Structure 1
Amino acid sequence: MPRRGAVRSRAGVRGAGILWEGTYVSYLLRVRLPDRPGSLGALALALGSVGADILSLDVVERGTDYAIDDLVVDVDPGKLPDTLLTAAESLDGVTVDSIRPYAGMLDTHRELELIDHVAAARDDRLQVLVDGAPRVLRVGWATVLGIGTHGIYRIAGSAGAPETHLADVPWMPLAKSTLLDHEADWVPGLWRDMNTMLAAAPLGAPDRVLVLGRPGGPEFRPSEIARIGYLAGIIGTVLS
């Protein structure tokens, strides 16, 4: 039986290559593979056999016998992402959690650059944060929420961040970074319809939080939640 996330991801990006017609198209693959010698090399060969070049690789999580990796790959325009999924999953023990178009910049010090940009900003540092967070943390959108006398309100939001009014957010104030239940009653229907995975972390105070959305998945891994918490903690200190 196909996994829900894989089916949704295929449908969500099937026509995305049209946006970059005439040039290389980049995709972000989240792959689970056996943590044994040769696994990554075999994956690179499999992807190369369908014309994909691996541009970068980040280890998201490592277990006792597996690894979760994020790979950014280039393919020729017109190449369907299904081809990448089929090539990767032709290998024993390899599964693809998601495939998404990728238009971010590739670098090895994303978090440090974002912290530096926020610290250097003269005005609207929170807007600088939410504008940069999607690329750094590989999510669809970012927003900062606060609690005031009239309840929850939005302080800043990235491009594509929903402006839906949240009448009730039972997990605020927030003490530490956490994976949010994306099917909970407080989640707006549109977010649930898009299967938006959610994570949040306090920004210097429990009543000001960074919320991250990843429409269509994949779900945030524990290591990502920890990474979000570290980043938000540092930036919260910068903002104070």
Structure 2
Amino acid sequence: MRVVVPDRPGSLGAVATAVGAAGGDIVGVDVVEHRGDGFVVDDFLVDLPGGRLPDSLVTACRTVPDVTVEFIGHYSPGANLHRDLEAVEAMTDEPDRAEEILVDLVPGIFRSGWGLLLPAAGSTLKVQRASGGAPEDDGYEAPWLPLTEPTRIAIGPDAPEPWQDVVAVGVPVGDTGQAVVYGRDGGPRILDSELARLVHLVALAQVIRRTAPAMDAADDAATG
């Protein structure tokens, strides 16, 4: 559940109390962004007992002054939720597949949405790797491709139907012509802080893949 909370003492506790009163058990809180207008964007991971509707959490949060619920999603028990450091560790385990692993983990890192790894293919959308739920319309002539810098993707009216309600950003993979795209169907909006984290993770994936051969050679020399 993504909640916009006033950046003042007691606000987070008031939200936690409201969630508890609605029967929810908060099992994790991530601060996503400190905004410049006196508000903070937080992601709450809440365990809701059977029979309780997610709407009850929204109603409860709205009883707290100046609090807004931007989005609420559902994760099955045992869903793979990740943090940035866990993604780096996973990429380090298989450096030759760093970008593919990152795409697989993107939904869990950002708590919702999907990821794509696009090969160098000019303006034609081709999918090299896709996480679950991603639109995989190969052949889409995307006006936002190729990517040369981190970009908020503007989806035009001529896009295929699976892309019509998409909110997405894209980050080029160095000078390879590839791109990592992260999106959500119908929102919520992707924050500047989330785009910055994706840029950082893509850069780390490239470093991990490039330095792996040198690290392996150093290990061989040390044990030889």
Q: Same fold (TM over 0.5)?
A: yes
| Structure-2 residue corresponding to 1:62 | 34
| Alpha-carbon distance in 2 for matches of 1:144, 1:46 | 40
| Alpha-carbon distance in 2 for matches of 1:114, 1:225 | 16
1:154 aligned counterpart, secondary structure: coil
Q: Deviations over 1:144-197 (max 9, x none)?
A: 11223794421111122222124322323323322222x4246322221xx221
Q: Deviations over 1:211-238 (max 9, x none)?
A: 1121121000111111111111111222
TM-score, structure 1 as length reference: 0.78
2:70 aligned counterpart, secondary structure: strand
| Structure-2 residue corresponding to 1:7 | none
| Fraction of identical pairs, as percent | 36
Q: Say if 2:160 is the partner of 1:160.
A: no
Query: Which residue, 49, 72, 95 being the options, matches 1:76?
Result: 49
| Structure-1 residue corresponding to 2:195 | 225
Query: Which residue, 196, 203, 211 being the options, matches 2:173?
Result: 203
Q: Deviations over 1:9-51 (max 9, x none)?
A: xxxxxxxxxxxxxxxxxxxx10011111100011111111011
Query: Which residue, 15, 19, 23 being the options, matches 1:51?
Result: 23
Q: Deviations over 1:84-108 (max 9, x none)?
A: 000001111011001000243456x
Structure possessing the higher radius of gyration over alpha carbons: 2
Q: 1:176 to 1:120 in 2, by over 3 A?
A: same
| Structure-1 residue corresponding to 2:67 | 94
2:50 aligned counterpart, secondary structure: coil
Q: CA deviation at 1:125?
A: 4.1
| Alpha-carbon distance in 2 for matches of 1:218, 1:150 | 26
| Alpha-carbon distance in 2 for matches of 1:46, 1:122 | 44
Greater strand percent: which structure?
1
Q: Structure 2 regions of 5+ residues with no counterpart?
A: 211-224
Maintained 8 Å contact 1:178/1:199: yes
Q: Which letter does structure 2 place at the counterpart of 1:210?
A: V
Q: Structure 1 regions of 5+ residues with no counterpart?
A: 1-28
Maintained 8 Å contact 1:143/1:211: yes
| Structure-1 residue corresponding to 2:4 | 32
Maintained 8 Å contact 2:173/2:206: yes
Poorly superposed stretches of 4+, deviation over 6 Å: none
Q: Which letter does structure 1 place at the counterpart of 2:56?
A: T
Q: 1:174 to 1:187 in 2, by over 3 A?
A: same
Q: What's the C-alpha RMSD, in Å, of the aligned pairs?
A: 2.1
Q: Which letter does structure 2 place at the counterpart of 1:90?
A: T
Maintained 8 Å contact 1:147/1:207: yes
Instruction: Please give the residue correspondences for 1:62-211 in structure 2 after superposition, counting only pairs within 5 Å.
Output: 62-63=34-35, 64-103=37-76, 104-105=79-80, 110-121=83-94, 124-148=97-121, 151-181=124-154, 183-185=155-157, 187-192=159-164, 195-205=165-175, 207-211=177-181
